[in-house]
Structure 1
Amino acid sequence: MGARSCGRYSPFREPSNFLPVTDHLPAPDDEFEDVLQHLKESRGFDFTGYKRTSLMRRVRHRMAQVGIEAYPDYIDHLQVNADEFDALFNTILINVTGFFRDPEAWEHLREHVVPQLLDGHGLEDPVRVWSAGCASGEEAYTLAMVLAEALGTDRFRQQVKIYATDVDDEALAHARHASYVERDLQSVPPELQTKYFEQQNGRYVFRKDLRRSVIFGRNDLVQDAPISRIDLLLCRNTLMYFNQETQAKILGRFHFALVPQGVLFLGKAEMLLSHSRIFDPIDLKRRIFRKAPSGPGTTTHFVTQAFAHDRRVEVGPLDQLREHAFSASPVAQVVVSAEDIIALVNKQAETVFGLSAKDVGRPLRDLDLSYRPVELRGYVEQARVERKSLRIKEVEWQRSPGESLWFEIHVNPLIDHDNGILGVSIVFRDVTSARRLLDDLEYANRQLESAYEELQSTNEELETTNEELQSTVEELETTNEELQSTNEELETMNEELQSTNDELQTINDALRDRSSELDQVNEFLESILTSLRAGVIVLDLEMRVLAWNRGAEELWGVRRDEAEGEHLLNIDAGLPLAELRPVVRQALSDPAFMTDVRLPAVNRRGRAVTIRAVCSSLRANDGSPSGAILVMEQLP
C-alpha cells in the first residue's frame, strides 16, 4: 500500500534501495526548528522526527508560494492566518496510495503468510489487523478483501477487526465513505470488484456488511500509543521518511503492538536497521517480518519512555517467588525430571500422599505414588514419548478404611525451546466433592424413580375406583331418593369448591405480593450495580453479558444496551480479552474459582492503563456454576 509519514504519505520520490543507516542532514537551523516546535505546540503535529532535507524543501516551497523568506516571519503568518496550517500540511504530506500496491508482495502475503497466520485462530478467536497510515482507505479495504477470501465472509464479519489509522482527518473522512471512482479500482481484479464493490451513482462503494469490520481513527505514529494485540501490522513505505532515532521508536511500538508471532509488512523501499533484533525476516525481498521473542535488551531501546516506565516493575527474587507459588498451590503437584527422578513436590502433595522433602531426588518407581492411586509410570512415559498432555479421569483412591478420594490426574510434558524433554508435571485435581455430588444426584434420581412407580400404582388404583364410582352412579339413578341424596352431595361439593376458590384467590394475592417484593429486590440490586464505581460485568455460561453497570460504561466507553446480550469476546472496547478469556472460562467451569489479576488495557479515551480485575464464579442454588462476575477498576 502507500507510504505514509506519521499517518500521511510523503510526496518525495521513493528510493530504489534500502534505507540509509544515517541521515544526511544539513547544518542545524534553529529558526527552522522553531517552526517545527510551533507546529507541534499549536496543532499537535510533531515533525521533529522527519528527515530535515526533504522537510525543509517542502516548507520553503510553501513559504515561496505566500511570498515569505524568513522563518520567523512565517511563524507570524501562521499565527495570524489559521487556514495556512492546512495549506502547509497539504504541502508536506501528500496522499499516495492504491489498491494492491506492489501486487507481487500482496500475492505472497495472501498465499503464504495469511494462511499461516489464521491456522492458530479458532472459530471464536478475534483476528486483529492494523493499517498504519491508511490515507484514503485503499490499503485497509485491500486487507479486508484478502482476509474475506481466506476466511469466508461469514467468519470475516464475526472475527476480523481492521484498525486503519491516519492523522489526516480529511483523508479519514474520505476513507469512511468507502466510495471510489472507476480509475481507483484499476488494480483490483475484476472478480473482486464484482464481489466486494457495489455501483452507486457512478461510483464504486465497498460492501456495507464488510465495511463494519474496518474501523478508522486518528493516530500519530510518533506521539500516540499503539493499538495492542495485533496479528498483522501494515506500515508500508513510511519509515524511510523518519530519522533513525524516530524509526527505532516506531519499531519499538510496533513490536509492543504485535502479539507473539505477529507479522509486520513494510514497503519495498524499507529495511529494518537496528542493533537489537526485534523482528525476524519471513521474506526479506518482500519486506515481511515476524515479531521476535522478547529478551534482555530487545524492546527497551525502542519503546517510548512512557511505555518503558509503565512496564518496569521490580518483582523481587523470582526464584524464591516461583518456589513459594508452586509450593502454595491448592492442587497437589509433583514434577519428575527427564530421568524419572522426583524434582519438585508441593505442600498439597505432601499432605495428601504423605510425601516429604526427603523424597525429592528419589526415583519415581521407589515411591508408592508411582502405582497408587493409579499406575503412573506408563502415563509418564507416554507423555514423554508423545510430547502431549494426558488426562486420567475418575481415579478412586482408598486412602483409609471408609474414606475414598477421587482424582482427575493431568500428566503434562515439560518441553524446552529446542523440543527437548525437561521433565513431566503430574497434577492431582481432587474431584471428590463433585463425585459425591454426582452420587447424591444418582441416589436422588433413584428415589424419584421409586416415587414415580408409586404414583403410577396410585393412578391405577384411582382408575379402578373411578370405574366403581361410575357403577354406583348408575345404581343411584334407579330411585328418586338416591337421586336426591346425590343432589345434596353435589351441593356440598359446590360449597367446598367455593371454599377452594377463595383459598386460590388468597394464594393469588400472596403471589402478587411476592412478585412486587421481587420487583423491589431487582430494583435494589440494580441500584447497587449502578452505585458501584468499579466496572461490573456479569456473564452467563456462554460468556454473554447479562449485566453491564455504569462503572463499566465509564471505563470502556460502551453503553449498557450495546453490551448486554453480546458475547464478551465480541466487545471491542480495549478490554484485555486474550488475558481475560482463560480466567473467565475457568470461573465458568469451577464454582469455587476466584482470582485477582492486574492487566494492561486501553480505556475509553484510548489510553494505555493497568486495571485490577477480580473474577469469580457465579453459582446457582445447587452450587454449580451459572456464570461469572468480573469486577474491574483502573489503577492509578
Structure 2
Amino acid sequence: MTQPDPQFEQLLLYLKESRGFDFTGYKRSSLMRRVGRRMAQVSVPDYAEYLDYLEVHPEEFTALFNTILINVTSFFRDVEAWDHLRTEVIPALLAAKETGAPIRVWSAGCASGEEAYSLAIMLSEILGVDEFRHRVKIYATDVDEEGLTAARHASYSERDLAGMPPELLERYFEASANRHVFRKDLRRSVIFGRNDLVQDAPISRIDLLVCRNALMYFNAETQSRILSRFHFALGRGGVLFLGKAEMLLSHANLFTPIDLKRRIFRKVLPAHATTGGYLSEMPPALARDELVGLDRLRGEAFTASPVAQVVLTSDGLVALSNRQAETMFGVSTKDLGRPFRDLDLSYRPVELRGLIEQAQVERRMHRLTDVEFLRAPGETVHLEVQINPLVNNDASLLGVSLIFLDVTAAYRLQEDLEHANRQLETAYEELQSTNEELETTNEELQSTVEELETTNEELQSTNEELETMNEELQSTNDELQSINDELRDRTGELDTANAFLEAILTSLRAGVAVVDQDMHLQAWNRRAEDLWGLRRDEAVGQHLLNLDIGLPTDQLRPAIKRVLTGEPQPQELTLPAVNRRGRAIDVRVVCSALARDNGSALGVILVMDPTGDDGQPLTAP
C-alpha cells in the first residue's frame, strides 16, 4: 500500500477546519485524482501551493467541491431496479405497516433532487396523491449546498427529464419558461437539508433509505461507520436501496439482501430484539463496536489468509479477493465487480467456468487435484482447487467461493516418500545380496590381484573418456559462439527492419500518428511535423488531447473510442483546422485499428490528409 502524502493530508485537514467538509474518509486514489484535475485547471503544481491558493481565492472552494462531489443523477436511474422496488419491495413494506401509519423515507446523497422526486412520484402512484400528502415524509440530504439549492427549486430542463414517461411528466410537473417544475402540493412532503454522512447524526425511524452510488467513494472503514448509522436510522423491517457498485458482502451482521442483483437490502434486527417488543433500534454502543470490530477482523483475516481465495456473486461478478490471490494470479481490487469469465483465472491454470456453473446447479463442492500452474519461468506450483457454492438459509444461492491450495510441498513430499520407499526396497535387496557376497568373499579375495591388474587398464580408459568429454565441451563452446553470431545477425536485421518502417512513415505524403489504448502517441511522421509544426520528440508520449496543434483533437475522441472498442470499419471524418503556417484548412482524418493477432485493437492509426475546396486530398494517394 502506498504511504499517504503529508501535503495532501494537510489540505484535507484545512478543508475540514475551514469549511466543515470532511473528506478524510474518502478513497485516496479517486480523491487525489479529482483534486489534481482542479489543480491542473488553475495551473497549481502541488498540494501545498494549492492550499495557499485557496486561502487567497475563497471562491475556489465552490469549484473544488463541485469537482470532488460528483453529482451524477437522473430520474429513476437504473429503471429495472426502480421497477422491482415499486412492484415487489414497496408493497411488502406498506403491507407490514399499520393502516394510516406515517411513512418516512430518506434520500441520502440526493444531489440536485432527481432521486428524491422520483421517490415522491413512485409513492404517489402506489398510495394515491391524497394519501401520499398525509402519510409520507421524504428527507433528502446532501453535503453540497449548491446542489441542495437546485433541488429546492425543483425546476428541470427537457434534458433532465428525457427518460421520464410522458404521462408522469404531465401529471407531476408544470411547464414554466422552457422548464418543468415539480408539483408544489407534493413538493411540501419533500424536506431538503444538509447532512454529512460521516460526521452528522442520522435521521431515525426510516422505512426506506435510498443511498445510491455514494458509498463507493469512501474507504472501507468509513463505509462501515456509515452503514452502522444507516442500520440505526432504519426502523424494524426497514429497506436499504444502494447503487449497482455496492453489495455489502462483508456487512451481513447489519443487512441481509432482498435482491442482491438490484442491491436492495433489509435491516438485520439486533440480537437483543424480541418478539415481545423492540426497545432500541441498535444494540448498546459496546455491542455495536464489537460487531464492527468482528466484521473488520473477518475482512482482515480473509485478506491476510495464506490461501488464495476469490469470491464470486451469484451472477458471476468478482466480489472479493485476498492478497494471496493477487500475488499468485494478479486478481486485485481493481477487478472487483468485473465478470469472472473476463479474467485469465477463469481458464488458466485450469478451466473453471463450467465447474462453477455445475457447483451452482448441484449445490455441492467440487475439487480439482494436482493442477499444475507455471507461476514463473521454471517455477511450477501444484494446486488443489475447491469450488464451494455459498448458500443462504433459504437455500438460495449467494455466490461461489474459489479456494486455491498450494500443495506443492505435499506433492514434493509425496515424491520424496516414494523415492525413499524405492531406496528402502533397493537397500533390502542389497542386504540380501550382501549375505551372498560375504559367502563369496573368499573367492573374491583370491581374485583381488587380478582385479588390481585390470584397474590400471580401467584408469587408462577413464582418461580417454575425459579427453573425449573435453573435446565435446569444446564443440559445445563453438556451437554457443555460432549462436551468438546468429543473434547478432538477427539484431542487425531487426535494426534494418525498423529503419525500413521509419523510411515508410517518412515517405508518406499524409500525416500519420499512432496512439495506444490510452490515447498516448507512439508514432508521429515527418508529414505530421510539417503539417502541425510539432516535432516528433515533442509529440511522442504525449496524450493526443493535450497536443497544442491546429487540429481539434477532442473531436476525434468518439471515433477513436469506437475503433478501440472493436468497430471493424475505419472511422473517417473531416475537420476544420489551422496548419502550422496559420492557414485555415480542412483535414480528412481516417481512424483505423492497430490490431493484434487475435483481432483486438492494440491502438489506433490516424491518417491526417488536408483536402482542397473540392474535398479531394491535396496529397498524392
Higher RCO by CA contacts (8 Å cutoff, separation 6 or greater): 1
Does the TM-score normalized on the shorter chain lie above 0.5? no
Relative to the length of structure 1, the TM-score reads 0.43
Relative to the length of structure 2, the TM-score reads 0.44
